[in-house]
Amino acid sequence: MTLNATPLTSTLDVSIHGLRSMKGNVLVCVTANPKFFPDCSKDPKSHRAKVAANNAGNVSFPGLTKGTYAVALIHDENGNSKMDMAIFLPKEGFGFSRNPVILTGPPKFKAAAFEIDADEVSQKVKMKYML
C-alpha cells in the first residue's frame, strides 16, 4: 500500500522591494494570530527574521503549517530593533503582505492576510516611507 506523502508544512518566500537605503536591518514578522499583528514580537508562535538591509532581497520561512498569515516588515535603518516615530508618523520604512493601502495607522490583519495552502507560497512586499 502506497500513501501519497503530502507535506504538512510550507515555505513562505518574502521578496522585499523599494528599500531607500542599505543601512541597518529589515525586521520581518510572520503571524497567523490577528491579535499580534502588525507587531508580532510578543506572539510566541510567530516567525521572525532580522536581515541586513544590504542582503534583504528575499527572506524564506520554511516549516509553516498551512493556514492564514500576515507579514509585517520594518526597515530599521538605525539598527535599534524598533520602529522609530516622529509624533504620529513612522520615521523608518514599513511594508505588509498584500501591500494594502495605508491611510492612517497600520492595516488590519484581514487586509494583509493570505493563505499558505501550497508547498511554497510567495509574497512581494513594497516598502513605504512616510518621512
The pTM assigned to this predicted structure is 0.92
Give the three-state DSSP class for 118. Answer: coil
Neighbours of 34 (CB within 10 A): 13
DSSP track, 57-83: SEEEEEEEESEEEEEEEEEETTSSSS-
Neighbouring C-alpha atoms within 13 Å toward the C-beta of 91:
11
94-118: per-residue pLDDT in tens? 999 999 999 888 999 999 999 999 9
Write down the mean pLDDT value for the chain: 93
Query: In the prediction, which pLDDT does 79 show?
Result: 96
Encoded amino acid at 70, one letter: A
3-32: per-residue pLDDT in tens? 555 558 999 999 999 999 999 999 999 999
Calculate mean pLDDT across residues 61-90.
95
Whether the per-residue pLDDT at 1 is higher than 50: the answer is no
Cα–Cα distance, 55 to 26 (Å, whole number): 9
Locate cell 498551512: which residue? 66
Cα–Cα distance, 27 to 73 (Å, whole number): 5
Whether the per-residue pLDDT at 2 is higher than 50: the answer is no
Calculate mean pLDDT across residues 70-93.
95
Query: In the prediction, which pLDDT does 80 show?
Result: 97
Query: In the prediction, which pLDDT does 3 show?
Result: 52
Cα–Cα distance, 123 to 73 (Å, whole number): 12
